[in-house]
Structure 1
């Protein structure tokens, strides 16, 4: 990531940040006072390990994170970026208050040598590598990291560039410490020989079984009544299985805002006038800067043009007004002013990079031989893009080796640049090009060209006008005013088929989405407001290109789990228990019959008799019942020829008979099974450690009330 260059390009952002800081300083008393958003000192966004996170403190950290983000990225934080920053600040607080205690207790630190190595040494951090990899070539050069760091360190202390760099360094070091902690937890996992033996036997021992199976679905749901009292009792006895969560459910109507016919006509008239004015203005470049919705260069190389313009420019003549040309919802008028020669050449090329496995002569010779073989196939007519996808060893392979456009300005390593710009025309270079990165097979797809086209471009975007927005808002506001309850909203929707009632169920606290609609945080915050009750209808919210009217239809709380929070799941389980009682009672009187076929015949409709062979405890599947763990356990718990009493399984009731069993043969070495079990534990241990730390920290998150 070219931090310095991006910061220079976006220097206006720095001015904006300073201005905002001054405004906050001047009017901070009003914004943060007793009547402001964060006026009360008791307002808190959460609790972590006994530490109260006040709204004011969280906002300060968020403001700092925003400055750091904009310094690193060179662009203003939009709504999506702010949502990610809020999550990052919260996670940083979790580390500060919950995780660092664990780090300190274990003595986990990073040495100065490690801190240096992850940026400039042999083991570069993936984030550093990604940020400083050339997107065109897929090549990482740590010298760029060093140069960037040195340039930033020469700037005044506390400059926005230094703030961005320091945040970048801090986040990477913190990530390494977190990874070290998780890896330490993983390395502490252990699988005993007894556990490995158990896994081996569960996978290897086999059994043949025969059973009567009466699935729950054989009894119609409508014949089994479930009472609220039964649901409450079941929930009380299984409360550990049903963890509460703070969620809200909404029904809502979205009034979409789209350009109207009048907006299209107005844009057409505007573009007609733009074309006339552009033709006669004495200073067309200034006119474009003031009137274009999208910035454009004044002199264009072919790499600056989309395919549409690249084709059209062939027919342009000096002074010509062309267009409008459409790209998505953007319409552009061009004025052509001729061409000139640039001091730099531009070329478009593709390559296939073959790297040596290491720096030994043998490895290099092997890589060269492979590259020469590929070059030979290409000379014989093989498809370059396909060969690049199969053989390329850098980031360009996935796009057929395409490097895009580049210039002879040092953006490529010297041998590569010399070979490409020394080649005339297009096509496959006849010889390999060796660089520090390996052996390159290169194809020039567009010949070098230093021609620049003077094209003044004015772009206008088709969007809804303020009048259109006002009209849609008026409809949404009238709808909200006329319908003050969910029942009234439902009636209005039935009456007007053009209005669609949408549902968003179980929205988690802190979410910013309504189904697939993003940036809907204002609606979610309204739903979570303490003053909003079930049945309340909201005011009109603007979300993206729509106006939303919502009604709160449900609440759940992590502190107070109710039957309604899990009514469907609880009803299904209680109903199956009641069905099981019916089936068990009926089968109980038949269990002594001599054959399972007789049991099924006497039971009647719904009873199945099935036989399965060579099932294992770990991977056994019963024909109709699937992988029922209770039934599989019974199968391997019975002696050959022994028949079970009726018992309840996952999806129905069984009487099971084990016909034959083959124990797992004894083996001397369980290493294979021990390794597999250990790998499974390793994959889960990091997650479980994180969950344990957060649970122990008694984390309470109230951010949804503020953001």
Structure 2
């Protein structure tokens, strides 16, 4: 049924293709060509009227994803490449206007000075010094290889050269802009005086919170007008809001029981019909198996062999006691652990420390792991035996020789490996022979041991206390939903989707079936994550399709944390770029501002009187005092940060009373009682430099400003 649904989903596409094929007989071929191709379709966007080619953009996106090793999603790659290409186009325009040219010598000098080039052994002479001629020869060889068809290295070099040129151009432009940023001594003096003058004042403060929100109601038209008047601050983006129910394809209790039964069938020997033998054959169960790797492989275990030892605390609680009470070669289970049903055979019992501290001296030979040694195995064995004789009873000599001949990370540490936990030692990343020696011998033991890395003299320095441990052979089967369960879940999703298609409300239908309804609010056109569903670009694309209207719904096949599932999605809201409809995020920002403005008007009507005392009394409050307030720290005790109010204090004459001031937290009226000017200085150059530093520190905003002022058309959402 899931397959039939996919065919239904694609039926309109199939009809379109067939229809176009039929029309091809009667239409002029050029009409069909123009239908599928236009300059608009081939452009991912434009900057100041210059198109960004869609095919080139797509190539760069794929290249970026390839370079990231698949660690970035498609939309992350799309956005990164877009920002890069957008920046390039904008800077190209600015460079041309500024007349900035970067010459070939500038590029060459920059490339030659790169640390990777300077330090590469490929470009060093006999004296181990960088040789520019060797670099030139290397480049010539790359170019010759490219002409013969092997162009990968040459293309990489050209790309590096292009990136260096772009960086030099940007540095030149940024330096040019920074050179124009400055401040005079007078500006430094003014900034110092402005920020360091101290003011004492009296004030009356009536907080906005003193007026109930219910009194200051805001109309939709007021929100729209405010946003329109502040369009630069509140740029309305196109958004979509959705509600959805997700259906995880999860195994039922019956599915779990069936898997448990199947796993139990592998404990004892059994008979099965063999197509090869054309008769029934006897197959060993885990209880009687001896070749455990073959047993797990032949019976298609979902878990590989695990050669590690387990303490009781490392086993699932339900079977830990049973395992440690079991006899050797007994089988425990089936039992459920995580997403698997398991049976485990006890194949070894032992006492082991939890952690071991050890040291070693290693002599590798040709062919051992990570070895560059030319020694034969026999030569290495002879060397290690000699070393062993010197160090087995002499710790100082052990340290001395380890530092002299070890080539791994223990060199300079006297050969000390440090503490290794049991789970680390018996993992796939640690050498088994090394682990066996340090865990199965006592502290103080010193012995020659051969591993995949060569011959070692290993010394066991310390061990934690010993505990009982077991080695298990475990057969596991993943608990998956059966086909029957999958069909039931699919039918539930389809039934909900059909109900929505008939005009019913999602929340009403969900309530009937006890489904949870989730929301994705104010999704933007280039987003790929839907809260609760993670990366679901397909849903965002559908929501922004020009044919999708509020109230429309659709069922999607989704991946939920690596597992298949369905999501039945309804579009519940949409706002368009610069449209009259405001998104909830903008409303949540603007509404408090308008509410406070209305409250301010109500408060102002009450703040009447000929003195601060009268005004305070009329509003059931008191006259407050502010002492030594400065613009550099505009805090009013008991109120908070009020830069506008402190700014008014700094300009008022002594004993003058201000107009009513709408502050951050409420409405104020202030009277300055004392002003202490900043102490005069002999020189204000440090303050001038501070202003210059602040200006130049904002040069990072250059790209942002250029982008905001450029004429940018962005069609990304139409293609990705």
Where in structure 2 are the equivalents of 1:157-556 lying within 5 Å? Answer: 170=159, 174=163, 177-178=166-167, 181=170, 185=174, 188-189=177-178, 190-192=181-183, 193-273=185-265, 279=286, 329=339, 409-410=369-370, 430=399, 433=403, 440=413, 442-446=416-420, 450=433, 460-484=477-501, 488-496=505-513, 498-544=514-560, 545=563, 546-556=565-575
Structure 1 residue 106 and structure 2 residue 100: aligned?
Answer: yes
- 2:634 paired residue number: 620
In 2, Cα distance between the equivalents of 1:464 and 1:154?
57
Evaluate the alpha carbon distance shift between residue 500 and residue 457 of structure 1 in structure 2; reply closer, same or farther with a 3 A threshold: closer
| Match status 1:586 vs 2:627 | no
CA contact (8 A) 2:236 2:582 kept: no
Establish whether residue 85 from structure 1 lines up as the match of residue 77 from structure 2: yes
CA-CA distance at 1:295 after TM superposition: 8.6
Distance in 2 of aligned mates of 1:173 and 1:324 = 63
Show structure 2 runs of 5+ residues with no match.
Answer: 1-19, 22-28, 121-134, 269-283, 349-355, 361-366, 375-382, 426-430, 437-470
Matched-pair contact (CA < 8 Å) for 1:214–1:654: yes
- The CA deviation at 1:504 is 1.7
- The aligned counterpart of 2:452 is none
Alpha-carbon displacement from aligned partner over 1:479-512 (angstroms, at most 9, x marks no partner): 121134887112233444x322222211122111
How many residues are paired up?
Answer: 565
Q: Deviations over 1:108-156 (max 9, x none)?
A: 57734544654624689xxxxxxxxxxxxxxxxxxxxx9xx99x98999
Aligned to 2:576: 557
Task: Say yes or no: does 1:47 pair with 2:45.
Answer: yes
- Given that 2:204 and 2:668 are in contact with CA atoms closer than 8 Å, whether structure 1 keeps it comes out as yes
Tell me: CA distance 1:181–1:527, structure 2 relative to 1, closer, same or farther (3 Å).
same
Task: Quote how far apart the aligned CAs of 1:658 are.
Answer: 1.4
Q: C-alpha distance in 1, partners of 2:154/2:503?
A: 52
Q: Do structure 1's residue 639 and structure 2's residue 628 form an aligned pair?
A: no
Q: Please, which moves more after superposition, 672-681 or 534-543?
A: 672-681
Paired residues of 1:255 and 1:472 also in contact (CA < 8 A): yes
Separation in 2, partners of 1:443, 1:155:
49
Checking the alignment, whether the CA contact within 8 Å between 2:522 and 2:583 is kept in structure 1 is no
> Are 2:260 and 2:341, in contact at CA under 8 Å, matched by a contact in 1?
no
Query: Quick one: distance in 1 between partners of 2:290 and 2:151?
Result: 44
Whole-Å separation in 2 of the counterparts to 1:550 and 1:694: 35
Superposition CA RMSD, Å: 5.5
- 2:89 is matched with which residue? 97
- The equivalent of 2:679 in structure 1 is 665
Taking a change above 3 Å as real, the CA distance of residues 564 and 327 of structure 1, as seen in their structure-2 partners, is closer
CA gap 1:195/1:121 in 2 versus in 1, 3 angstroms: farther
SS of 1:47's partner is strand
Map of 1:25 onto structure 2: none
Say if 1:257 and 1:469, in contact at 8 Å, map to a contact too. Answer: yes
Distance in 1, Cα, partners of 2:149 & 2:293: 32
Instruction: Tell me, yes or no, if the aligned pair for 1:246 and 1:556 is still in contact at 8 Å.
Output: yes
Single out whichever of 173-182 and 195-204 deviates more from structure 2: 173-182
Report which stretch shifted further, 89-98 or 239-248: 89-98
Cα distance between partner residues in 2 of 1:198 and 1:245: 41
Distance 2:649 2:251 in 1: 67
Secondary structure in structure 1 of the residue aligned to 2:433: strand
Larger radius of gyration: 2
Aligned-pair distance for 1:634? 0.5
The alpha-carbon deviation at position 56 of structure 1 amounts to 5.1
> SS where residue 111 of structure 1 aligns?
helix
Take 1:333 and 1:647, find their aligned partners in 2: how far apart are those partners? 77
Q: 1:88 to 1:586 in 2, by over 3 A?
A: closer
What stretches of structure 1 of length at least 5 have no aligned partner? 1-28, 125-145, 339-346, 352-406
- Please name the residue that 1:127 is paired with: none
Distance 1:265 1:436, change over 3 A: closer
Distance between the aligned counterparts of 1:210 and 1:165, measured in 2? 74
Cα offsets for 1:235-258 (capped at 9, x unmatched): 333222221212211222222333
Distance 1:334 1:157 in 2: 59
Alpha carbons of 1:586 and 1:307: their partners in 2 closer, same or farther (altered >3 Å)? closer
- Residue 284 of structure 1, CA deviation: 6.8
How has the CA–CA distance of structure 1 residues 288 and 552 changed in structure 2, closer, same or farther, with 3 Å as cutoff? same
Q: Distance in 2 between matches of 1:122 and 1:315?
A: 66
Secondary structure, counterpart of 2:529 in structure 1:
coil
Measured after TM superposition, the shift of residue 531 of structure 1 is 0.7
| Deviation by residue 1:567-611 (Cα, 9 ceiling, x = unmatched) | 344443333333323333433x42x23xx2221112x34x55322
The TM-score with structure 2 as length reference comes to: 0.63
**Residue by residue, what CA displacement relative to the aligned partner does 1:589-642 show, whole Å, maximum 9, x if unpaired?**
42x23xx2221112x34x553222122102121235422222011111112322
CA distance, structure 2, for counterparts of residue 463 and residue 83 of structure 1: 31
